[in-house]
Structure 1
Amino acid sequence: MKITYKFVREIFFAMVSGVYNILLSVIFYKTVKLYLCNHLTIGIAKLNRNRIIFPHPVGIVIGQKVEIGHDCIIYQNVTIGTKDTLNYKTAKYPRIGNNVTIYANAIIFGDITIGNNAVIGAGAVVFKNVPENYMAVGNPAEIMPLNKRPITREPSLIHNTH
């Protein structure tokens, strides 16, 4: 393998970028785990500027072109990105509003918008828009108002049959 200037330069910038992001992780979030256990190509500085909270920062993937609002909460193993992995540089990414809560193992992908104050349930697979003050639950995600609860089908849970 021939070592070229371009190769050395790319390795150098990758190392500098890694050290920079580790420092940002420690300064903003008081843990190196945010950088080491996640793939946050969106940038740690941008997440801090938007006051994003990570209660359990493990296994989170957020694409570089994801637009994310302020004061969001993102739990573990969440993936937010594009459907078009071959053309990821020009692909469309999700837009997340303000005050959105995304629970564990949720997947949000494609050219969609998640409205302000929305909730994405644990394990939800979201590939369509979620309006403001709505929640998305299930796989594929079902969209429903936040004040509406799913109806249970078990009669003994609805009425006292004794």
Structure 2
Amino acid sequence: MTEKNYFIHESSYVDEPCEIGKGTKIWHFSHIMKDSKIGKNCNIGQNVVISPNVILGNNVKIQNNVSVYTGVTCEDDVFLGPSCVFTNVINPRSFIERKEEYKQTIVKKGASIGANATIVCGYNIGRYAFIGAGAVVTKDVPDYALVVGNPARVLGYVCECGNRLKENNNEYKCNVCDKEYKIVDSNLIPRE
């Protein structure tokens, strides 16, 4: 960390080496651990822990009380709601070290995870997906999917702007921004 073109609150700890992008803000009582990579213009809320080797893309917003554990990658424009939870070991025991068994979790571009949601390790969150508050993710989440419940299940689809899409014969439209989508090979994709 040579040139400081980001903000770190005086109550936070940043271990070296790590990368922090221009314009990023790290707020009260947070801990950024070594070998993590944080992109440009991120906002890291109060009491957040970023573990070693975590990767955050650009414009990632992390609300208060979130721990992002080793094995997690958040692509650009991801939103992590207050107190959402990641895991990285599928069968933890305090008396058995399993650091070599950490599972990977990728939160893809534009996805949002609601407050108090739990993301079980080893599963990926699709592009622009929306995880409802309190949901427990136990399998991969498709692009644009709106998932809720325990275990999380697909309730519908959301637009890139975050609003729920209306369905008509496998065609989907956002009533807010007018963007249109279609199902192709069981995947929702934007219409061209």
TM-score by length of 1: 0.65
Alignment length, in residue pairs?
129
Distance 2:77 2:53 in 1: 16
Greater relative contact order structure (CA < 8 Å, 6+ sep): 1
Q: Does 2:106 align with 1:95?
A: yes
Q: Which runs of 5+ in 1 are unaligned?
A: 1-16, 150-162
Query: Contact conserved, 1:42 with 1:62, CA < 8 A, in 2?
Result: no
For residues 53-75 of structure 1, give each alpha carbon's deviation from its aligned partner in whole angstroms, at most 9, with x where no partner exists.
12x3x210111111221101111
Distance 1:104 1:114 in 2: 15
Distance 1:102 1:130 in 2: 11
Q: Does 2:28 align with 1:32?
A: yes
Q: Does 2:142 align with 1:131?
A: yes
Query: Contact conserved, 1:79 with 1:105, CA < 8 A, in 2?
Result: yes
Q: Which runs of 5+ in 2 are unaligned?
A: 1-12, 32-45, 158-164, 168-192
Superposition misfits of 4+ residues, deviation over 6 angstroms:
none
Q: Which amino acid aligns with 1:73?
A: F
For residues 96-140 of structure 1, give each alpha carbon's deviation from its aligned partner in whole angstroms, at most 9, with x where no partner exists.
111001110010012111110100000001011110110110111
CA RMSD after TM alignment: 3.2
Q: Which has the higher strand share?
A: 2
Q: Which has the higher helix share?
A: 1
The match for 1:59 is 65
Q: Does 2:129 align with 1:118?
A: yes
Distance 1:51 1:33 in 2: 20
Query: Contact conserved, 1:81 with 1:93, CA < 8 A, in 2?
Result: no
The match for 1:7 is none
Q: Does 2:74 align with 1:68?
A: yes
| Cα distance change of structure 1 residues 79 and 42 upon mapping to structure 2, 3 Å threshold | farther
Query: Contact conserved, 1:123 with 1:138, CA < 8 A, in 2?
Result: yes
Secondary structure in structure 2 of the residue aligned to 1:113? coil
Query: Contact conserved, 2:103 with 2:121, CA < 8 A, in 1?
Result: yes
| Cα distance, 1:19 vs structure 2 | 5.3
Q: Which amino acid aligns with 2:102?
A: A
**Which is further off, 108-117 or 77-86?**
77-86
Query: Contact conserved, 2:47 with 2:65, CA < 8 A, in 1?
Result: yes
Identical residues among aligned pairs (%): 23
Q: Which amino acid aligns with 1:137?
A: V
For residues 6-46 of structure 1, give each alpha carbon's deviation from its aligned partner in whole angstroms, at most 9, with x where no partner exists.
xxxxxxxxxxx74559xx59x721523443612221568x4
| Cα distance, 1:88 vs structure 2 | 3.6
